[in-house]
Amino acid sequence: MVHPRAPAAEKQPRVTDLLRQIEDIVSPTVVGMGFEVVRVAMSKGGTLQIMVEPSDGRPMDVESCATLSRALSAVLDVEDPIPTAYTLEVSSPGIDRPLTRPKDYARWAGHVARVETTEPVEGRRRFKGTLLGMSDGLVRLRLDDGKEATVPFASVSRAKLELTDALIEEHLAAQEAAQAH
């Protein structure tokens, strides 16, 4: 949905502060409808992306995205947190999903992920390996060379699952299980 341009604010908040504010605004509605917020992001092109998934682990469907989009559009129209025109996009995380919450690292342990950091960790900012989980605020990965890397969660700027056969198989099994119920 396209939202009209609002009058410019005196001072535009930092994007990260704005995204946190938007997440705070939409979370009660998302949770109340049986979903969880995975990520809130704003593209340079003016698209506000709110990524959600069902809180019970079932696969996301197009109708759920459409229903959430209508509900969140109404909430955002009332609260009006964005001082410029934007397009709202409600989506699911997809198979090669971003890892944004500590619980994502536990849930997806055993799968291959790419992790980027805000500052160098062990002399590097990019890591790729099998997720071993997270403990004490540290993301653990088994790198391709067999070594283990620990990355402070607070230093992660981007992380996402890598599309692999094992990930696709798990996704298909989850879809089949959901259809059986």
For the chain (length 181 residues), average pLDDT per consecutive 10? 42 65 96 96 92 88 94 95 93 91 93 95 95 95 94 94 91 78 66
Q: Is residue 154 within a helix (H) or strand (E), and if so which, with residue range?
A: none
pLDDT of residue 9: 35
pLDDT of residue 179: 75
What is the pTM for the complete model shown?
0.78
The rounded distance, in Å, linking the Cα atoms of 80 and 22 is 9
pLDDT of residue 1: 54
Cβ-proximal residues to 166 (8 Å cutoff; 6+ apart), any chain = 110, 111
The rounded distance, in Å, linking the Cα atoms of 49 and 3 is 13
DSSP summary character for residue 177: H
pLDDT of residue 139: 97
CATH of 2-91, one of 2.40.70.10, 3.30.300.20, 3.90.78.10, 1.10.565.10: 3.30.300.20
The rounded distance, in Å, linking the Cα atoms of 37 and 92 is 10
The rounded distance, in Å, linking the Cα atoms of 141 and 135 is 12
Crossing angle for the helix pair 15-32 and 62-79, to the nearest 10 degrees: 120
According to CATH, the superfamily of the domain at 102-180 is Ribosome maturation factor RimP, C-terminal domain (2.30.30.180)
Q: Is residue 67 within a helix (H) or strand (E), and if so which, with residue range?
A: helix 62-79
Question: Per-domain residue ranges for the chain?
Answer: 2-91, 102-180
